[in-house]
Structure 1
Amino acid sequence: MILRSLVLMLCLNLAEPIAAQNVMILGEVHDNPAHHAVQAAYVAELQPKAIVFEMLTEDQAAQVTPEVRRDAAALAGALNWAESGWPEFSMYYPIFQAAPDAQIFGAQITRDASQAVLVEGAETVFGVEAALYGLDRNLTPDQQAAREALQMEAHCNALPVDLLPGMVAIQRLRDAVLARSVLQAIESTGGPVAVITGNGHARRDWGVPAYIAEAAPDVEIWVLGQTEDDRPLEGGFDEIKSAPAIERPDPCAAFQ
């Protein structure tokens, strides 16, 4: 009942996208609680058969049993959330509650996989069906340059230039693994599927939607992006919502 009221309060108007789509990708700025409240409201309305979390590995997702799912502290403990590096679990737990019967899928790649990309490339690390998701092909020069520039900006212009191609390759692997998890969730449950992820992965032009379209063009996707203080959000979204920015430490302080 609380979540239903939140839907009305936020004026989400979800009837049309919910009726039409197999997959609803819900972007976020990871540490903004308002963004997670919006995600929980969408999930409560959609009642997906599966939820794919960028924040969980496959092994962590397997720990989400009905018993631990009923208790926030128990679930956080089962997921070892305190050691994960993600924002407070209290922001994410309402999403689990919003569709209590949804099967949980994890799509986070391990640190070892990220490091392996720098040596072996995303195609090799992804493994079987890498070509299905387009990982066997180089990006266009314009997209490669744009993505390297975003990586440099995201790291406060402090990265050595020769690291940028590897950072883009890691991002491509993450997008492809998320897309694969979505298709596995559809195959396992029949859908619909909700995806909880950052805006960078949610963007239509080169994020998860593009990889899903590459591998399974008949899958219908609806994408929400969430920004702060009405700042522009590039990448192509079906809807963009804004929330007030939160106070946070200077992310570039560590590079100074």
Structure 2
Amino acid sequence: MPLLLLGEQHDAPEHQTLQRETVQALSQDGRLAAVVMEMLEHGRQTTHLPRSASETEVRQALQWNEEANNGWPWTVYGPVVMAAVGAGVPVLGGNLPRAQMRGAMADSTLDQQLPPAALAQQQSHIRAGHCNLLPERQIAPMTRIQIARDRSLAAVAVAALRPGQTVLLVAGNGHVRRDLGVPQHLPAGVQHHVVMAQAGSNSASAPNNQADTVWTTPPRPPTDHCADLKPQMGR
């Protein structure tokens, strides 16, 4: 499969273990062309590092620190990155650079990058994801950022494709969804397989318009993300 989109629930450590194991399995016989990560901005990469590069050297090349990476912890994703580097596989940042977010928010042409029903659904997810605390005027701009991120991830992954090999894209489940995410922005004819890792789901499948395969892992302790978000938004 030329492109494997591997979604995760960010707070489920089993999912990052699955990512590392996937990197190891695909790289063992030279099938892995690159690893594209949501956790890194487009332009950051390990392409010129040797397999023997240390964690310090890799983090420097990727400019990886908790602040620059929007809080993505190296302790969680470092093992995935190092598995790829140690196998001689480049790790590529796929996310929209922070410097481009303001422009994306104002770019109304991004509204046309999804079918109307999918755009409305994506906007609904933005509302719910922010606990219905965002002013309505911010919904469209925030949705455009999500679309721009998906387009960036898709572009980096497509550029990394190599004949006879697989590009692995690691991102949150919302980014890999077939009906709303990266697959919507792939050129026609690019073969891809969507895997969503779900913590605590009782189902071993997902609707065909979302994923091809679901990995089910043990449930996570309940977390009230909205309780954490309300003080940040002055609510």
Equivalent in 180, 183, 198 of residue 172 of structure 2:
198
Q: Which residue of 2 aligns with 1:162?
A: 137
Equivalent in 100, 105, 125 of residue 118 of structure 1:
105
Give 1:104 deviation, angstroms: 1.9
Are residues 147 and 92 of structure 1, via their aligned partners in 2, closer, same or farther at CA, if it must alter by over 3 Å? same
Q: Which residue of 1 aligns with 2:117?
A: 142
Q: Which letter maps to 2:55? A: A
Secondary structure at 1:42 match in 2: helix
Equivalent in 38, 41, 44 of residue 24 of structure 2:
44
Give 1:180 deviation, angstroms: 0.5
Structure with greater proportional strand content: 2
Q: Percent identity?
A: 28
Q: Which residue of 2 aligns with 1:251?
A: 225
Q: Deviations over 1:98-130 (max 9, x none)?
A: 332112221121223111122234x5xxxxxxx
TM-score normalised by L of structure 2 = 0.82
Equivalent in 54, 57, 77 of residue 38 of structure 2:
54
Question: Do residues 105 (structure 1) and 128 (structure 2) align?
Answer: no
Q: How does 1:184-195 map to 2 (within 5 A)?
A: 184-186=159-161, 191-195=165-169
Equivalent in 191, 194, 201 of residue 223 of structure 1:
194
For structure 2, list consecutive stretches of 5 or more residues without a partner in the other structure.
none
Equivalent residues of 1:64, 1:75 under 8 A apart: no
Secondary structure at 1:193 match in 2: strand
Are residues 210 and 231 of structure 1, via their aligned partners in 2, closer, same or farther at CA, if it must alter by over 3 Å? farther
**Hey, what's the Cα distance between the residues in 1 that align with 2:81 and 2:115?**
38
Secondary structure at 1:163 match in 2: helix
Q: Which residue of 2 aligns with 1:14?
A: none
Are residues 118 and 52 of structure 1, via their aligned partners in 2, closer, same or farther at CA, if it must alter by over 3 Å? same
Q: Which residue of 2 aligns with 1:32?
A: 12
Equivalent residues of 1:114, 1:170 under 8 A apart: yes
Give 1:178 deviation, angstroms: 0.7
Number of matched residues? 219
Q: Which letter maps to 2:161? A: I
Give 1:40 deviation, angstroms: 1.1
Question: Do residues 92 (structure 1) and 63 (structure 2) align?
Answer: no
Structure with greater proportional helix content: 1
Q: Deviations over 1:9-54 (max 9, x none)?
A: xxxxxxxxxxxx1011111112321100011111211121111111
Secondary structure at 2:39 match in 1: coil
Equivalent residues of 1:56, 1:108 under 8 A apart: yes
For structure 1, list consecutive stretches of 5 or more residues without a partner in the other structure.
1-20, 124-134
Q: Which letter maps to 1:251? A: H
Secondary structure at 2:10 match in 1: coil
Q: Which residue of 1 aligns with 2:58?
A: 75
**Hey, what's the Cα distance between the residues in 2 that align with 1:81 and 1:231?**
36
**Hey, what's the Cα distance between the residues in 1 that align with 2:111 and 2:138?**
20
How much is the aligned-residue C-alpha RMSD, in angstroms? 2.5
Equivalent residues of 1:55, 1:86 under 8 A apart: no
Q: Which letter maps to 1:143? A: A
